[in-house]
Structures are given as C-alpha cells and as structure tokens.
Structure 1
C-alpha cells in the first residue's frame, strides 16, 4: 500500500513565483478590414495551378495599400514559397488547404539560420524578414509537403509503409535501413557541417547538396508584432514553426502536426525572441514539441539575444521528443519563462532541459506549474548538461572529467516547478550537471510521479525536493545522489517496504538532508558508495 499525506496536497510554494502578471505581454497585431482575395489575382483552387505569384501579388498589393487581410478561400491551393509583408494578415478560410509544392526547384537556396548557426537553406515555404504587424490566421490547413524532403528510417515504418515509400523512388542505403529522397540528399549526409556558412565559400558551393538543406515550414526573422492563430501547420520538411529574433509573438489555438518519425520535425522553436505568449495550442510532432532556443555555441553568444519573457499555457503535446524543452542551442541564454496548465501525453520526455559543453549561455528563472503527464517514454523531468554524450559508469559513479570554466560553459540555475503529476515514465526526475558547473537552485514541489525509477541527481548544488510522492517499480534505490551537495528532501513519499530509500555516491557528495519524511517505510534508509556517512542527516 502507498501512503499519501494531506500536507502534500495543501503545500504552497513559498518562493517568489513568476506569474503571468510579471511577464510583459506581447503587443497585439491590428489590421485594416480591407480584404484582398487571392482569386482576384488569378489564383485557382484546382490543386494543379501553381499560385505562388498570385498569392505573393495579393500580399504585395495589400502591403502597398496600407495593409489588411489576404484571403485564402475554401479550396485546394497549390503554391510555392510565400513571403509575408508588414501589416498583412494571411487568413485561411474554413476548408482551405494551402499546399506547398513538391517541386524543389521552386525553393531557392538562401542565407538563413538553422539549429543556431548561420546557414544556407532552401527558402522556407512561409517566411518574413523585418516585417511588423503580421499574422497567419483562420481555420484552414497549411501543408509543407515534408515527405519529399525527409529521409526515413526503415525501423520507423511498417513493412507496408516502407514498400509504399520505395515506390516513390529515392535511394536506399546499402544496409537497407535508410531511405533518402535523392543523391543530393545522400551527398549532404557525407558533408562536414552541411549548409553552415563558412568564409571563402559561395552559395554555389552548396548547390550539390541542396536537397539535404531542408527548409523549416515557417521562418519569421526579426519581425515585430506577430500572430499565429487558429491554423493547422503540418507536414513540415524540418522544424514546423521558427520565429527567430522576433518581438511580441502570440501563438494561439494552432495545431502543429508532423509524422512521429519526422526527422527534426519540431513543433515550434522560439529562438532569441522576447515577449511571447503560446496558448491553447496542440502539438503532435516528430521532435521537440514546444522548444526554447537562442543560438548555438560562439555564434549564439555573439548574437547575445536570450529568449525571455515567455508564457506558455493551456497547451497539449502528444508525440514529441520533449513536451516543453529548452536547448540544446541556448547559447544566448533563456530567462523569465513561465509554463503552466499544460498536458503532455506520450512524449519521450516531459519537461526537458538540455545543453552541452561549448554552448555557454545562462538558463535561469524558469517556472512551471500545473503540469499533467501520461505515458512518458523516458524521464518526466530531465536536466542534462551532457546532451549527445553519456559518461562511462564505474561502480555506479559517472566518470566525468573536470574542465576549466570558460565562455563555453553553460549554466542552469533558478528553476521552480510546482504541482506536477505524471502517470507513467521510465524515470521520475533526472538531474546531471557538470563537475565544473553544477546545476543549481532547482526547486521541485508538490508532485506525484509514477515511474519505473525514482530520482537521480548528479553534479548538482542546492536542489530542493518538497512534497514529492514517488510511486516506482524499482525500489533499490528510490533516490540516487552522486557528487552533489546541499540537497534537501522534505516530505518525500515512496512505496511501502522499499528496499533502499537513498544511495549516496561519490566523495564530493555532502550536506544531504531528509526531513519530515517517514523513513521507517524503507527496509534500509541509505547506502554509501564512496561517500562519508556524515554526508546524510535526518530530521
């Protein structure tokens, strides 16, 4: 039998809490009512006519005349890349399908940014640069035709799906495990830093791998007062929605949808943006669902634009690598972010924070509350400063190398999470910092976490667990602390008759406290692996 404590349900966070009132709300968009119907510019809804010129002409005319609404009426509209201009609301009527063409020649190579670095990419189906007061609204569907761009792993498809894919042509790897859309794509997989802009190279140097340089479905760069509302964005070649260095962004009631196997098929990547609201939206994608970024490594630090003043509320994330994510390209920093009243169902990880040496950047003042999770594949809550790597484990202790702190050393600090419920995960909480830069001041309270494993905390300082109920299959240990200090466990619940409540490992582990907890439910309170027994105190 598992015991629950009424005090667990009554506890209120005592720390200073970030709320919606503390975050600067994005300035709203305002448009004239003048309507520019794309049919007036020659567009035809036959699924055959390429309407690129008609739609862009309507946008240009709307912009020239002071702005208004460019209407995509009901129907099937085939098009190439669309560029949004200031004071234009691109509005999709109900039952309107805006289908981007599978003819890759329509997408020219352009200078852009991908995964935090300046890079040549194919022109995005939807783009805007230095525009103000722009929107995409309505209740229609925008389809990026991503299937013609993406490679696909054989293991991610049924045999019938695989056979149907092969009928489209393309190239299969020698081992039969991978399908590629073209030879150009295959060349890209063999190219070092494909697409990354380097001194001495021109656009022509990238032409031979053009197919590999997949576009994001939507890229808005350095835009102000942006609204995305009501529309379904689906089947992106790479990331679905990518606002980059924008101010005053509102995303409301949208649906971002990609196949679950879509490589780099993120839902939304908010990069180096300020004053952001994402609400009442649904994400079901192939990579991270709702993701915060700010550039990569030295380029991101040079840009120096953190993503800040962000509220995310009332959103649902289904399949995704992470429900809410920060990183790993967070070199410009991230701060003042509040995520609340969200649900993650079937994501690989629930709350995911990832970085690696070389990124640099400071992630701080991150708040999450009232988060519900179900059927999480891996960790419910994860902080990991070893993204892309897994240190070797010897006798239960990660063998990590201490390196000097420099500009490339990332920082995770000042996180406050409250009222989280997870029904099903591989592990409840995983925290792994660097020996030279511990993850610090993480405050987790009021949680009921059902998972195979409990808590693992490594290379961390000042971590507070308060009113945490752990319902785990593995009970030896329920909690593992490794080379960490100033760790407080206050009112911790766990399975009756757990074999081992806590394991403390590493000579650097010290100042571990457990208070207000019934430790008699465990057959053994603690085991010490290279740690002094005095490191643990119980009150």
Structure 2
C-alpha cells in the first residue's frame, strides 16, 4: 500500500477523535449539519447507465459528462443523484451542475487521468490576478463547479483520487506551464455539502471553495504524502458561512488555510472570508495545522477553530500575512488544541508569503487584531511560539490563555519571540514574551475570552 500503515493511523486517530469528542462536554456535540440541509433526491441515475466501466483503465470522461448533461437539462424536481457503483472509474476533469448529488458507493473510486495534455485551462481568479504558481490561466480542477447551488458530494467513503504525482513531478522539475489543478473546486456557488468521501493525491489544493457561501465539509478524509508540494487540505477562500468538522487530514501542506485574495488583486476584488467554523479536526502536516493566510488581502473575520488534534506537524497554529497584502484579520479564536511533536506551536507573522508581481503596494499594510488562542496543550514542541508584527502596523489585542507547550520528555523548549505586538497572556508556559502583558483579568485585551 502506498501509504503504508496510514489507514491504521486513520482508524486509531478516529478513535482518539471520538474519545476527544466525548470528553469535550457531557452535552450534545455541536455540529453545523443544519447550515445546509442534506437533500433526498428521488430521481437517481447510475454512471453505468451511460456506459462507464469501472476497470481502472477505460476512460470514462464521456460517460461522466453525458450523465451530468442529462441532470442539467432534464431538471428533475428536487434534482438528481448520480450513483457511482463500486469500481475504479478513470476520467478526465468534469464539471458538476446545480441540484445534483454525486454519490460514491463503498469501493467506488473516481480516478483522474494522468494525461495532462488535454487538461482544460480556465481564467485566473480575479482576487489572484494570475495563476497561484504561474502567470496566466490555470488548469481546471479535477471536479469543478462554477455558479452552482444545491450540490452534494457524498457516499459510503468512496474515493476521489487525483493521481497527483505527475503534477508534483512537473512542479519539482519546473516544467509547469500553468498553475496545477485543485482536486475539487467550487466557485461562486452556494449550498454545498461534501461528506463521507476520501480525497487523495491531489495535484494541488484538495478542496477549494472560492467566492462561495453556505458550505459544509464534514466526515471527510484527505490524504497526500508529506513531501507532495502544496497539497493543502481545505482552503476556504473569499467565502462566508463555511463549516469544516469531524475530519482527518494528512497532506504535504497546511491542513486548513483560510484565504481571501492576493495583494493588489485581492484588495481590488474586496471579497472577505467571514464566519468560518472549524472543529474536531485531526491531522498531520510538515506545514501548518490550522492557518489563516497568507493570501488575506480581502480580509478574514470571525473564524472559530476548536477541538483540534495535531501530530508530527510543522506549525500548530499559523496566522500569516505580508507587506503589500492589505486586508484585516480580525476576531480569530482558536481553542482546545492538542499537539504532539510539532516544530513551532504558535506563529503569527507579517513577513510570510510571496507576491504575484512587482506591482504590489508596499504601503498596503495588513491589520491583525482581536486574536484569541486558549486552552492549548502541546508536547515535544521544539519552539513555543513566535509573534512578529509589522513595524508600521503592529498586531494588537493578541491574547493567550491556558497555553502550555513543553519540549521533548518535559525538557525546556525554545522561548517565545515577539516584536511589534501588544495584548495579554495568562497561564502560559513557557513564559510568553514581555510584549504580551500578563493579567489575570485580561486587562490588556479589549475583547474578553
């Protein structure tokens, strides 16, 4: 098996996650299942009805496109469910349509073709101004939705496999002509549910809702090797009312990263990410567990991340931006985090990430304020934390409470490093930097915990 014992790890961490949920509270576990209702669709069709063959070698692009064309044009009341039976269905990229459910049965695999020569190109996102990796357009995501509503991707833990190694090698060899495709992207869409599916080996970011609203992602597993480049797990981008919960993610980049546009393009587009809930996530990554940024030019507000379990991760909690980004990062709360074997526990920095071109405005300074990080426990943490603000735009109202990060075998870890920041801290070990004024009443923090 390519991942070795990863499924054993998933099962083990799944048990840990269940136990963690039980210890959170005696009361009923809070979920966001009511944000977007799961719709029952009485009209059902099977991909087999359109000639698809699940032998892993037959190319089924025509079958997928014809089935979705049928759903789009017949417009059955209540929409239509497209059933993918057990088998391995090789296909090129395809578009979804509104009022449909893509349902993967137990043992069903939708596998991306590795022939990149026919991969469709689409325009760059206006909030990025160009492809994220290369100038110009970008390759369309493997499964794509643009301007849709009422779409569900679910099933019995079937798999969507991006077969991304061919793309990773192009990136490593610097032969990419355009930005790599995401595994799943919804753009300008609303009323989206993604649940009970395994996503693996994405060419680039795994799940990317951009300019979307009312999105629920839950009970998913996302897998990619730790050396796979830029395989972020879930990236809500210039989107609002997004809930991500009860999932396991192990990838080569940030597990979850909230974004909102890149430098002058994101500032001009002006579409923030707002009301993002992240809860009961377990995972591992050489980069960040929970991240905000670094592309935050449209602004990021009102993010809640809670009950997070991380292991073998680069940075546990990472809020990142840069000069030229502009935008405001405000009202970020991260709580009830456990991390084990982490390079850096907490990092909030204003010097992270590159620029799309030389036209960014060096006077467009980001603002970070009202950040709450509380109830965090870590062991085998190499450095507790770093908070590095911007000289002419210091980070304000950064408050830490009940944060305890120990080194290996209880030894001391690297001290906190801070600059251009103000806020408060209480019950933090090792002792935080002097810029964070300790106060049992959180007097330095204008918004209480």
- For residue 324 of structure 1, give the secondary structure of its aligned residue in structure 2: strand
2:449 equivalent to 1:489: no
**What does 1:348-367 correspond to in 2, within 5 Å?**
348-367=314-333
For the pair shown, which has the larger CA radius of gyration, 1 or 2?
A: 1
SS in 1 for 2:64: helix
Supply the distance in 2 between the matched residues of 1:130 and 1:294 (Cα, whole angstroms). Answer: 18
- The answer as to whether partners of 2:294 and 2:353 remain within 8 angstroms in 1 is no
TM-score (norm 1): 0.69
- Say whether residues 1:302 and 2:320 are aligned partners: no
SS of 2:325 mapped into structure 1: coil
Q: Matches of 2:353 and 2:118 in 1, distance apart?
A: 35
Q: Is the 8 A contact 2:61 2:94 kept in 1?
A: yes
| Residues 331 and 372 in structure 2, CA contact (< 8 A), matched pair in contact too | yes
Q: How far apart are 1:434 and its partner, in Å?
A: 0.8
Distance 1:358 1:443 in 2: 25
**Distance between the aligned counterparts of 2:53 and 2:84, measured in 1?**
11
Q: Is the 8 A contact 1:31 1:68 kept in 2?
A: no
**Corresponding residue for 1:65?**
75
Answer yes or no: is 1:266 the counterpart of 2:256: no
Q: Name structure 1 gaps, 5 residues minimum.
A: 1-19, 153-177, 189-208, 390-403, 471-477, 492-510, 513-539
Which position in structure 2 is the counterpart of 1:91?
A: 103
Pairing of 1:39-188 with structure 2 (within 5 A): 39-63=48-72, 64-66=74-76, 67-113=79-125, 116-119=128-131, 120-138=137-155, 139-151=157-169, 180=173, 185-186=174-175, 188=176
Mapped contact 1:58–1:70 kept (Cα < 8 A) = yes
Post-superposition offset of 1:469? 2.8
Deviations 1:55-90 (A, max 9, x none): 121122123232221011000111111211000110
User: 1:29, 1:226 within 8 Å by CA — same for their partners in 2?
Assistant: no
State yes or no: 1:430 paired with 2:386: yes
Residue 34 of structure 1 is matched in structure 2 by 43
- Residue equivalent to 1:521: none
**Matched pairs, number:** 394
SS at match of 2:401: strand
What secondary structure sits across from 2:35 in the alignment? coil
Return the offset for 1:418: 1.5
Aligned to 1:460: 421
Task: State whether residues 29 and 225 of structure 1, in contact with CA within 8 Å, keep that contact through their aligned partners in structure 2.
Answer: no
433 and 59 in structure 1: CA distance in 2 versus 1, 3 angstrom threshold = same
**Corresponding residue for 1:374?**
340
2:380 paired with 1:441: no
User: Secondary structure at 1:288's aligned position in 2?
Assistant: coil
> Which ranges in structure 2 are unaligned for 5 or more consecutive residues?
1-29, 132-136, 355-360, 408-412, 445-449
In the TM superposition, structure 1's runs of 4+ consecutive aligned residues that sit over 4 Å from their partners are 478-481
Pick aligned residue for 1:417 from 362, 368, 373: 373
| Deviation of 1:31 (Å) | 4.1
CA RMSD between the two structures: 2.4
Decide whether the 8 Å contact of 1:29 with 1:134 is kept in 2: no
Q: In 1, are the aligned partners of 2:83 and 2:103 still within 8 Å (CA)?
A: yes
